Amino acid sequence: MKKQAELYAGKAKTVYTTDDPDKLILHFRNDTSAFDGEKVARLERKGMVNNVFNAFIMQKLEAAGIPTHFIERISDEESVVKRLDMLPIECVVRNISAGSLCKRLGVEEGRDLEPPIFEFFLKNDELHDPMINDYHIITFRWATEQEIARMKELTFQVNTVLKQLFADAGLLLVDYKLEFGRFGGELVLGDEFTPDGCRLWDAETRRKLDKDRFRQGLGGVVEAYEEVAHRLGIELPD
């Protein structure tokens, strides 16, 4: 399999086509950004850490029966994935109040949410990823009713698997986002699962070990990602 043309360059990943029409290569770059690109930086080792981290998580989810686009990691910063017809939707689950939820609803950060809150957002940078609901999705034909139900089902399955995985490592899974796409008539988990797209806190101190360290200028961003990886037993290249 050979890497071919650049298909898409996002804020932290570049997607390439290959000579197999059903496969893509994801390149995890060292770039990081926040606030819709208003704050940007390049952080050494970040691309490698996120690529290895994502491969580990995707394999754990596959083992739990959750279909993903991940095929294999082929280098420190690159992985092969299935080429999906992506839905323009983000699925967010919140186990603990943080981030935009606190700003929107005026609730304090760190409140345990039971049951967890599920939210849909439209993937649109120009509109700042507005919050949407089932009716928007159906009316604008972004997904079917069956796909909406399946996204919710899979997202909560992910929550069950990963909350326990992180808890065993002394971590709290505060919240996270997932994206899905169609492949061979099936809805499949796409994009990535890394500390860039979720919030993770130390279970005892609630110290932040995710992208909020970059958003809030706390420093030690990659070091925090590496700490999470090591707690999970992930071996990172030197």
Residue 115, pLDDT score: 97
Q: What is the pTM assigned to this prediction?
A: 0.96
For 3-82, CATH number out of 3.30.200.20, 2.40.50.100, 3.20.20.70, 3.40.50.720 equals 3.30.200.20
Q: Count Cβ atoms within 10 A of the Cβ of residue 137 and give its class: 0-12 exposed, 13-18 middle, 19 or more buried.
A: buried
201-229 burial code (b ≥16 CB/10 A, e <16): bbeeeeebbbbbbbbeeeeebbebbbbbb
pLDDT of 36 = 78
Architecture of domain 85-219: 2-Layer Sandwich (3.30)
Give residue 9's pLDDT: 94
Domain with CATH 3.30.470.20 in the chain: 85-219
Question: Residue 1: its pLDDT value, please?
Answer: 86
pLDDT at 57: 98
Low-confidence ranges of the chain (pLDDT < 50): none
Residues of the chain with CATH 3.30.200.20: 3-82
89, 156, 193 from 99: Cα distances, Å: 19, 20, 18
pLDDT at site 54: 98
